[in-house]
Amino acid sequence: MRRGFVSSDSNPAFAILQGSNISSQIILYEVLSVGEDATYDEIRAAYKSAALNTHPDKAERPLNVQKAWKILRYPTSKAEYDKQLQSSRQSLEIIALDIQIEDMIVENSADAVELLYACGCGDYFSITSCELGDMGILVSEDGEIEVQASDSLSASIVLGCGSCSLKTRLVINKT
């Protein structure tokens, strides 16, 4: 088989990928101690090193190393794994808290009004008046909020912190 060509019949990586729940498994890149942008040669070198260090005579869990190698060595199965990993991360958004738009601090900049809410890490959750404008919510320079007519009574958007991984849901009541 050519390197880089993978068929579902001949590659056991597809069997491992299918029906797997990445969120409940360890990250295969971590098993091999490589970054997600690692090249084939970096993955191969890390696999060889990990295989020696997790040899059954030296360690109890060589299966994770084998599984990582089976999936990450082929570009097609690696791309599929990356896609599933990204999807898993997006679906696992854990919301720290819900906030109201009225709870946010208003700051004026040259380009737009920015609404901020302090995160526990010291940074901020933020959204600009331009982003809110795309949602039909107008914010004046003094922070007055005007909701354009809509069929929906409320809207929400998930905001990420500028520094840490926490997320908050900004709830906008359109009453």
- Answer with the residue of higher pLDDT: 174 or 115: 115
> Helix (H, G, I), strand (E, B), or coil: what is residue 62?
helix
DSSP state of 96: E
pLDDT digit string, tens, across residues 12-63: 443 444 444 444 456 787 888 888 888 999 989 988 888 877 666 655 466 6
Class at the top of the CATH hierarchy for domain 95-173: alpha beta
Rounded Cα distance between 168 and 59, Å, is: 41
Beta strands across the sheet bearing 154-160: 95-100, 167-173, 154-160
Percent of the chain with pLDDT over 90: 8
pLDDT digit string, tens, across residues 72-124: 999 998 888 888 877 776 665 677 788 988 888 888 877 788 889 998 888 99
| In the chain, domain spans | 12-91, 95-173
Which residue is listed with tokens 């940074």? 123
Q: What pLDDT does 74 receive?
A: 92
Residue 62: what are its φ and ψ, rounded to 5°? -75, -15
Which residue is listed with tokens 């997006």? 90
Listing DSSP states for 103-130 in one string gives GSEEEE-SS-EEEEEE-TTSSEEEEEHH
Q: What pLDDT does 64 receive?
A: 77
Tokens at residue 173, please? 């009541």
**What superfamily does domain 12-91 belong to in CATH?**
DnaJ domain (1.10.287.110)
Beta strand ranges found along 8-134 (DSSP E): 95-100, 105-108, 113-118, 124-128
For residues 7-16, average pLDDT? 41
Q: What pLDDT does 90 receive?
A: 62
